[in-house]
Amino acid sequence: MILDLRTKFFFSVNISGWAIVQMFEAGATRSEVLAASANWGAGNDDHPAINAFIDQLLAEQLLEPASGTAAARSDVAVTAWTPPLLSKHKEPLQRIMVSAFDPGLPLAE
């Protein structure tokens, strides 16, 4: 699951998609993700699905520039490759507690 704190929408991600998200968190590039996906069992015919997944992450503004290198994440792996999927849930989280000091929250009495 991914929660977009800006919009409060949840996204479901399969295992291959989660591994790709983790790579981006470590600072990977698109080409590094494609190379890692090949190591996980993706073929050349999976490239359109991987690129569509990355484009969807970008369109939903779920990716930000990061520092670091993807090589630093040696624990990112996929045991059984399936094309990555990102599904946006229909309803946003109505309210999330960001701070215990939020003046909009009721006080315990």
What is the SS3 assignment for 102? coil
pLDDT of 72: 46
Cα→Cα distances 95→2, 28, 45, 102, Å: 16, 32, 41, 12
Phi, psi of 79, deg, nearest 5: -80, -30
- Read off the pTM: 0.76
pLDDT of 95: 54
Per-residue pLDDT of the chain (109 residues; tens, 9 = 90+): 888 888 888 999 999 999 999 999 888 899 999 999 999 999 999 999 999 999 999 999 998 876 655 554 556 778 889 999 999 988 877 655 556 666 666 666 6
Mutual orientation of helices 47-59 and 30-39 as an angle, nearest 10°?
140
Give the amino acid at 95.
Answer: R
pLDDT of 93: 73
